Amino acid sequence: MSIVCVAAEKDRSSPVRLSKFYLEEVGSYTNYKMSTLVFVLTVSFMTIACYAAPRGQCKANRDNSVSYSGFQVWTITPHSKTKQINLMKIIQHYNLEIWKETNEIHEPVNVMVPPRYQKEIRLKLEEVKIPYDVEISDLQKAISTENPKTNDSAVNSKTAHQMDWTSYHRLDDIYGYLSYLADRYPCRVQLLNVGSSYEGRPLYVVHITNSTSPDTPAIWIDGGFHAREWISPALATYIIQQLVEEPSNAELLVNVNWYIMPVVNPDGYEYTHLKNRLWRKTRSPTGSASAKCQGVDLNRNFDFKWGGPGSSSNPCSQVYKGPSAFSEPETLAYSNFITSKSNEIKLYLTLHSSGQLIMLPWGYERNTFPSDYDEMLTLAKNAACKFRKFTYKVGNKVDLLYRASGNSADWAKSIGIKYVYSVELPINGFILPASNILPVSQDFFRAMDVFAAEVSTLNAS
């Protein structure tokens, strides 16, 4: 199978893009000129579609969790710039949530559509001749079958931990597995409690090493910034398992240390398992009485270009930046720990979903790049060429996705970490059946030897 490595070059022009966030056109459509069209990110638009929909659209399941019964996910493909604009008008008018980005013509965009508007939107798309397919016909049914219950006999056969990579696990299972590894491999694994979440859950970092040298460089990996992106903690724990328990990967521990934080947002992660599968933010109060206005987007809460484009001051927004940089206990603990290891950490990977992207700083503004962007790009392209099942695009975050001020990757680069990447994992959307965990994880793990080989040439200093 041939692998196509696609990179976004520094001099590429900013294309018209459909963002997850509300896009406001500067200028009128009647005077529209494609060469000078500018879109500006605003953020009041983005709320969980359940809450954004008119009253009565979302119901409760028997366990009082949010039900997405009747909601659909459509794949819509605009084949011209004019059709991109028409699609954007429809998305704005109906306050739809985009699950997968597109920034090029002929690339599909995935949109979640409430049942109330499906007939109207179907007619509007047909009117402007934009093709679409229904990818998920009933979102609640997809959620219900996404994570099959673990076989009781299989669970009972495990005396030390409950982890596997054939299902998505609750936080207790993940943390239990980390504790098991620290007890089973005390010379190789340290379980570090670096702080507590708003609701009091521990924030764990796993330190994996075979070295006693203080000059050993390190790789940082994290997952679970956004609660609903379940594939992210699953991949992070898979990487931990492979590094610790798979003898054939011992070479990856030669001259390289690893710090892995599988769940940055444990409160939100648990909430997605118990109450609202599509919850994104933390669970900290914001002063609003509305349930939808609770929590902060941790990936807009970092103290580098905090509060700029792609973030919001509105607590009801999905990209609410918080009252101040590092206002959240999760980002404060996270940043304090990484800062204490910043001389040691040479490569930083933060895992998100979805879109199959490996993105480089800067993400706070267009056409803005670190001085060593080309070095970062080369390493990322080499890593992407290791994949066999999935093809990832590689390039600048704003070129590939959107502006996001106050994000963790920009902050990591700002404190001097050499190689910094934000990854959007496969496939398109947040409801990824558990049967995809191993294919995604096994494929992505192939890149670890590329990253480790480069980091091993650098000394901690």
- Segment (H or E) for 396: strand 393-396
DSSP E strand stretches across 223-344: 257-261
Closest listed residue to residue 455, CA positions, set 142, 118, 200, 219: 219
Cβ proximity of 46 and 317 under 8 Å: yes
Closest listed residue to residue 422, CA positions, set 435, 413, 431: 413
Give the number of other CB atoms < 10 A from CB of residue 308: 18
> Strand pairing partners for 261?
222
> How, if at all, do strands 202-208 and 189-196 pair?
antiparallel
> CB neighbours of 93 closer than 8 A, spacing ≥ 6?
none
- Catalytic positions: 424
The Cα diameter of the chain in Å comes to: 68
Cβ proximity of 389 and 439 under 8 Å: yes
3-class secondary structure, 331: helix
Buried b (16+ CB within 10 A) or exposed e, 42-72: bbebbbbbbbbbeeebbeeeeeebbbbbbbb
101 phi-psi bin (left φ>0, alpha ψ -120 to 50, beta other): beta
Q: Between the CA atoms of 272, 277, 278 and 280, what dihedral angle is there, to the nearest 10 degrees? A: 10
> CB neighbours of 59 closer than 8 A, spacing ≥ 6?
67, 69
